[in-house]
Amino acid sequence: MANLKTNEEIEILRENALIVSKTLAEVAKHVRPGVTTLELDKVAEEFIRDHGAEPGFLGYNGFPNTLCTSLNSVVVHGIPSNHRLDEGDIISVDCGTRFHGFYGDSAYTFAVGEISPEVAKLLEVTKTSLFKGIEQVKAGNRMGDIGNAVQTYAEAHGFSIVREMIGHGIGHDMHERPDVPNYGKRGKGTKLVNGMVICIEPMINLGKKEIYMGNDGWTIRTVDKKMSAHYELTVAVKDGKADVLSTFKYVEEVLQQKV
């Protein structure tokens, strides 16, 4: 059963979620051709610590960095390195915090310079599918309603849903019950109740759904080497409906200024 949160605990989770949201916006300022993923990682770590929190991913199950930086055909859990971004790349930046004993977690996929129309559509559909899932967050609905909304929207546009990597509950631990798949059948799965806090995070591929893990034990890639996009927000069930704790507002303000 999910570890349900009090209203006070949800407010602490909201503080974490806002720090993560603002960290992603700070990273957004630096996403451009020529920058290394390790430089992005340093920006994030400094920003998180400057705001009184700790990086949630650093050392988590042995993960070596503050960010997961997943480039092009990497679905999730890419490790920052001295690799430089190129024009036309996409990069999923997944970020976590730890603050007052709770975790925050959110992700956004960035275009590096100009990207192809096909890949731009992948990003837009993946992000929209996340909000389709959030629309199903209400007390009495089930996880299958969320997953089905994500799956139906993405597959209607010709993309495929990663099955093995899923969303999760969040609280004192980064990953808590319940599981939050990005596919499923309406009316099936865990029932949503007040006090539940979950991370919904569609991972959607341009090509086939199959993935594999790299030799580093972390990096998850598409088998067909086609691109993958990933967006994530943290959502509480409060007063019977969705209370979205994290936001893309700050990221998108930065991106609009860069145009």
DSSP 173-212: SSSEEEEE-S---TT-SSBP-TT-EEEE--EEESS-S-EE
Q: Phi, psi at residue 132, to the nearest 5°?
A: -65, -40
Buried b (16+ CB within 10 A) or exposed e, 134-153: bebbebebbbbbbbbbbbeb
Q: Give the model's pLDDT for residue 53.
A: 98
3-state secondary structure (DSSP) of residue 128: helix
- Would you state the pLDDT for residue 258? 82
pLDDT of residue 54: 98
Given phi > 0 = left and psi -120 to 50 = alpha, else beta, which region is 195?
A: left
What is the CB-side half-sphere exposure of residue 149 using CA atoms within 13 A? Answer: 20
Which among 13, 38, 17, 12 is positioned nearest to 27, based on CA atoms? 38
Q: What is the pLDDT of residues 187-225, one digit of tens each?
A: 999 999 999 999 999 999 999 999 999 999 999 999 999
Task: Return the CATH superfamily for domain 7-258.
Answer: Creatinase/methionine aminopeptidase superfamily (3.90.230.10)
C-alpha distances out from residue 147 to 35, 100, 167, Å = 35, 31, 10
SS3 at position 233: strand
Cβ neighbourhood burial of 237 (10 Å; 0-12, 13-18, 19+): buried
Pairwise CA distance, residues 164 & 21, whole Å: 25
> What pLDDT is stored for residue 29 in this prediction?
98
What is the spatial distance between Cα 157 and Cα 117, in angstroms, rounded to a whole number? 14
Residues of the chain with pLDDT below 50 are none
Query: Measured between alpha carbons, how far is 211 from 126 in angstroms, rounded to an integer?
Result: 17
